[in-house]
Amino acid sequence: MIDFDFFSPTYFAFGRGCENRVGELAARYGSRRILIHYGQGSVVKSGLLDRVRQSLVSYEISFVELGGAVPNPRASLVYEGIKLGRQADVDLILGIGGGSAVDSAKAIALGIPYEGDFWDFYSGKAVPMRSLPVGSIVTLAATGTEGSNSSVITNDYLGNLKNGTNTDLIRPVFSILNPELTYTVPEYHTACGATDILSHIIERYFTNTPEVELTDRMSEAIFTRIMEAAKEALADPYSYEARADLLWGGTLAHNDILGAGREQDWSSHRMEHALSAEFDVAHGAGLAVIIPNYLTYTLEHDPARFARFAVKMFGVDPVGRSERETGREGIKKLREFLDEIRMPKTLADLGIRSDDIPQLLKSVVPNNGDLLGRFQPLTKEDVVKIFELSL
Amino acid sequence: MIDFDFFSPTYFAFGRGCENRVGELAARYGSRRILIHYGQGSVVKSGLLDRVRQSLVSYEISFVELGGAVPNPRASLVYEGIKLGRQADVDLILGIGGGSAVDSAKAIALGIPYEGDFWDFYSGKAVPMRSLPVGSIVTLAATGTEGSNSSVITNDYLGNLKNGTNTDLIRPVFSILNPELTYTVPEYHTACGATDILSHIIERYFTNTPEVELTDRMSEAIFTRIMEAAKEALADPYSYEARADLLWGGTLAHNDILGAGREQDWSSHRMEHALSAEFDVAHGAGLAVIIPNYLTYTLEHDPARFARFAVKMFGVDPVGRSERETGREGIKKLREFLDEIRMPKTLADLGIRSDDIPQLLKSVVPNNGDLLGRFQPLTKEDVVKIFELSL
């Protein structure tokens, strides 16, 4: 175990109808004037936005609104939000919707008190020192942004560069999680969300840090339940238990409780960010293509860890198999699970061809000096090979 | 799963030497003048207190000190701390030591801004509305007070009544956890601490709430690792991994991440509080006597849950056994584990006799109307029977 700091200060309100508590929670943080940022029509059509307005009004909290966040949220809308928020002199940004609206809300919250360009925090040019508080109401079990310190934005002014920032300043002060709000998430996005959740566990599970038995077991507990809950939610979209476990499990998969004391990787995420930036692929769908191939490519780096993954996550029988063979069987089982929830298998399934690899490569942002990831740090050549395996 | 709020805002700094960061962390919360509250000599003798002073001085934070916290911490010392803290006009209470010093620190933090008697919050006469911030440096893996909303105090002015209060106001703003500080914890207290940690999981695990698969698995992950780590730490007190997993696992066992969405019980704790209040028994030792008998007594209430406990926590083979038999085997395995770590088995081992039961009974404080616990709510007669089983 390596030394760590762990800080997850978000107040989580979880359960049926808890969106009606948004006024109470915002008031608790002293908020008087809010920028509500949401995505596309469903937040309006479902009546959720109306319930939020009503709750805020009953606490005498005023608000301005900005809709239009799209998956892989755009910098252009962030700039609009910063302008609107400054004009209205808001004191809290409330993101409502899937991960995108909340990630945008975080960017707006960082941008309002900053004199420069908010993108400085995403390009690495500046380190965030201040933020308005962020609240969230999440309608999709996926990104874990409701408890995380991260925000990922696609810069449509810079050739769709997709990049993220991480700072405790943008961990939401409160997050409202009602599993019933996710009943109507379509099959494909339910599966994409589950894949994203599993990927957040995988990026922490494949580590070079020794002596991580406690967090290994916690990761295995949540990973196995997420796989089951995904299948249950696809079979019965109105299963409260399945939707609740996806939503809360998704939060725990990414508030870093599973990463405490571990060196983390994040190379699959960065390869996928290239896919979704350049081809507007759904994040989870891109991960479903990349991760099994990433794992296949890095298997030799630590067969024992892959064998554990296979045994604990998928119940692979290690008897009579080498660690390598057991590990390979685990990757196969992961692929079978992704097939079962109808996630894409190849870049071709996403409309991406061999000729596109150079374009993808330009979008992959290293996170370990010139290299990508920490489990088996990848060179550009390695990344090309993983993309080729994914064709 | 029932609706829940989850809030664990503590900033945890975990690892080697992190006590030297106390100045940095206190400064982050704007502290200028601290009351340091600690226990007995070991904090002084080990040099820990000196390192803390040095770190605070380097951040120009002044302090006053109050030592003398004992296991089952006393109200009399809390009153002294409140007086001292008011005189010195402190802005943060720092508890250093095992659970007792931190629980006292929490009581002092509640008492300083309150005009009445701090005991009002422990007797249920008043609900806490304000608290000074609390920080902690924990030298024993046991109570989880470093991340919890609870504080338990023994009132030596009221015939040693032992009672607790729960409020998010006393969750520490920061907690410093260095596993190396626990290397010198003696065998007996290491085992008592592990028993306390396991009990915090058990009090949440035995629930009537259906559809709790996610938190069940997380509980099983942490419980099984704590049992292993306890044995490892007893065999090798200087095992960093074992000490680290006990310390962090102990925090997670009681910051309520395992209780989210579940009805909880807490009757074993309340029976044990009677033991430690009346006979000054170490909390973990008292729990080791009570819990197996409590479980035996309530087995019939839900044999399926006991069977799961047996299978998941102890690997009991359910084939050819009824749920009841499997469950009974699980309780037997728990007892065997407690024997292995040399925890007492009977009230007699604690010097308590049959004649003492009426005295104990008077000290058991119900938490469910007139009843005790929620899994199988216990009458006074039930409590007597459990004490009798424990003789």
Global pTM exceeds 0.90: yes
| DSSP H helix total and E strand total for chain A | 15, 8
Confidence band, pLDDT 50/70/90 cuts, at residue B86: very high
Instruction: Looking at the structure, tell me whether residues B343 and B368 fall in a common domain.
Output: yes
- Please give the share of chain A, as a percent, with pLDDT higher than 70: 100
* A142, A131 Cβ separation under 8 angstroms: no
A378's tokens: 């990848």
Rounded to whole angstroms, the Cα distance separating B174 from B195 reads: 25
Asked if B239 reaches chain A (Cβ–Cβ under 8 Å), the answer is: no
Under 8 Å CB pairs connecting chains A and B tally to 117
- Alpha-carbon distance values, B283 to A149, A165, B366 (Å): 38, 45, 18
User: Same structural domain for residues A139 and A207?
Assistant: no
Q: How far is A237 from chain B (nearest CA, A)?
A: 16
CA pair distance A38, B176, nearest whole angstrom: 38
Interface test with B, best of A217, A225, A248, A262 (most B CBs within 10 A): A217
**B252 in A contact zone (CB under 8 Å):** yes
- Measure Cα distances from A67 to A31, A64, A160, B44, B272 in Å: 21, 10, 20, 59, 55
Contact A213 B245 (CB under 8 A): yes
Which residue's entry shows tokens 């601490």? B193
CB A61 within 8 A of CB A32: yes
Residue A3 forms part of a structural domain: no
Q: What is the 3-state secondary structure (H, E, C) of B259-272?
A: CCCCCCCCHHHHHH
How many angstroms separate the CA atoms of A388 and A296, rounded?
A: 12
Helix (H) or strand (E) holding B369: none
Is B14 within 8 Å of chain A by CB? yes
Q: Which domain holds residue B94?
A: 11-181
Q: What percentage of chain B reaches a pLDDT higher than 90?
A: 94
Q: Quick one: CA torsion of B170, B176, B177, B182, rounded to 10 degrees?
A: -100
Q: Output the pLDDT for position A40.
A: 79
Whole-number pLDDT of residue A334: 98
Strands A62-66 and A92-97: unpaired
Strands A161-166 and A150-155: antiparallel
Q: Are residues B238 and B112 in the same domain?
A: no
Cβ atoms of B108 and B85 within 8 Å: the answer is yes
Chain B contact for A173 (CB, 8 A cutoff): no
Q: Are B150 and B200 in contact (CB under 8 A)?
A: no
Domain membership flag for residue A1: no
Show the CA angle centred on residue B180, arms to residues B174 and B182, nearest 5°. 85
Report yes or no: A165 and A128 within 8 Å, Cβ to Cβ.
yes
Amino acid at B133: P
One domain for residues A201 and A350: yes
**Boundary-marking domain end, from A138, A155, A181:** A181
CATH of the domain at B114: 3.40.50.1970
Q: Tell whether A264 and A309 lie within a shared domain.
A: yes
Last residue of a domain, one of B117, B147, B181: B181
pLDDT at B40 exceeding the cut of 90: no
CB B374 within 8 A of CB B208: yes
Nearest Cα residue to B201 out of B309, B326, B73: B309
Residue B1 maps to a domain: no
Q: What is the pLDDT of residue A239?
A: 98
Q: Where are the alpha helices (H) located in B236-369, listed in sequence order? A: 240-252, 267-279, 283-298, 303-314, 323-340, 357-363
| Residue closest to A347 by CA, chosen among A291, A258, A275 | A275
Chain A residues close to B18, C-beta within 8 Å: 3
Name the minimum distance, in Å, from the CA of A215 to any CA of chain B: 9
For B13, which residue in chain A has the nearest alpha carbon? A5
Domain shared by A33 and A101, yes or no: yes
Residue in the block written with tokens 């009757």: B267
- Check whether residue B328 and residue B377 sit in a common domain: yes
Give the angle A175-B10-B107 at the CA atoms, nearest 5°.
120
- Average of per-residue pLDDT across B161-170: 93
Q: Which residue of B has its CA nearest to A5?
A: B13
Instruction: Name the domain count of chain A.
Output: 2
Interface pTM (ipTM) of the complex?
0.96
Question: What confidence score (pLDDT) does residue B102 get?
Answer: 97
Q: CA end-to-end span of chain A, whole Å?
A: 37
Measured between alpha carbons, how far is B334 from B227 in angstroms, rounded to an integer?
Answer: 10
Whether B334 shows a pLDDT value over 90: the answer reads yes
Give the DSSP letter string of B90-136.
Answer: -SEEEEEESHHHHHHHHHHHHHTT-SS-TTHHHHTSS-------EEE
In a domain, A160, yes or no: yes
Q: What is the CATH number of the domain that holds A322?
A: 1.20.1090.10
**What does the alpha-carbon distance between residue A231 and residue A282 come to, in Å, rounded to a whole number?**
19
* Cβ–Cβ contact A221 with B under 8 A: yes
Confidence (pLDDT) at A373:
97
Please tell me which residue of chain A has the smallest CA distance to B221.
A217
Helix axes A283-298, A187-205, angle to 10 degrees: 40
pLDDT for res A159:
84
pLDDT tens digits for B207-241? 999 999 999 999 999 999 999 999 999 999 999 99
DSSP state of A318: -
Question: Nearest Cβ partner of A245 from B14, B214, B229?
Answer: B214
Last residue of a domain, one of B181, B199, B232: B181
Kindly indicate the confidence band of residue B151, based on its pLDDT and cuts at 50, 70 and 90. very high
Of B220, B200, B211, nearest to B266 (Cα)?
B200
Q: Which residues of B135-161 are buried (b: 16+ CB within 10 A; e: fewer)?
A: bbbbbbbbbbbbbbbbbbbbbeeeebb
A314 and A224 in a common domain: yes
Beta strands in B15-108 (DSSP E): 33-38, 62-66, 92-97
| Residue B210 located in a structural domain | yes
Q: Which residues of A touch B5 (CB under 8 A)?
A: 11-14
pLDDT higher than 90, residue B371: yes
DSSP A366: P
Pair B154, B93 in one domain: yes
- pLDDT per position in chain A (391 positions), as tens? 999 999 999 999 999 999 999 999 999 999 999 999 999 788 999 999 999 999 999 999 999 999 999 888 999 999 999 999 999 999 999 999 988 999 999 999 999 999 999 999 999 999 999 999 999 999 999 999 999 999 999 999 988 888 899 999 999 999 999 999 999 999 999 999 999 999 999 999 999 999 999 999 999 999 999 999 999 999 999 999 999 999 999 999 999 999 999 999 999 999 999 999 899 899 999 999 999 999 999 999 999 999 999 999 999 999 999 999 999 999 999 999 999 999 999 999 999 999 999 999 999 989 999 999 999 999 999 999 999 999 9
Amino acid at A121: F
> Is A129 an 8 Å CB contact of chain B?
no
Nearest to A233 by CA among A244, A241, A242, A225: A242
CA angle B388, B188, B391 (to 5 degrees): 10
B277: confidence class by pLDDT, cuts 50, 70, 90: confident
| Shortest Cα distance, chain A CAs vs residue B356, angstroms | 41
pLDDT in tens, A58-85: 999 999 999 999 888 999 999 999 999 9
Helices A283-298 & A323-340, crossing angle to 10 degrees? 170
A240 touches chain B (CB under 8 A): yes
Residue in chain A closest to B7 (alpha carbons) equals A11
Rounded Cα–Cα distance for residues A278 and A158 (Å): 11
B4 inside domain: no
Q: Which residue has the higher pLDDT, B20 or B98?
A: B20
pLDDT for B72: 84
Cα B80 to Cα A285, B66, B84, B96, B162: the distances in Å are: 61, 8, 6, 17, 18
Q: Distance between alpha carbon A67 and the CA centroid of its chain, in Å?
A: 21
Q: How far is A257 from chain B (nearest CA, A)?
A: 9
Cα atoms in the Cβ-side hemisphere of radius 13 Å centred on A66: 27
Q: Is A94 found in the same domain as A21?
A: yes
* DSSP string over A240-298: HHHHHHHHHHHHHTTSSTTTTTS----HHHHHHHHHHHHH---HHHHHHHHHHHHHHHH
Q: Is B2 inside any structural domain?
A: no
Same domain, A294 and A155: no
Strands B161-166 and B150-155: antiparallel
Residue-by-residue DSSP string for A132-188: --EEEEE-SSSS-TTT-SEEEEEETTTTTEEEEEE-GGGS-SEEEE-GGGGTTS-HH
**How many angstroms separate the CA of residue B142 from the nearest CA in chain A?**
16
Residues A250 and A350 in one domain: yes
- Higher pLDDT among residues B161 and A189, named by residue: A189
> Considering the domain boundaries, does residue B136 fall inside one?
yes
Say whether residue A236 is in contact with chain B using an 8 A CB cutoff. no
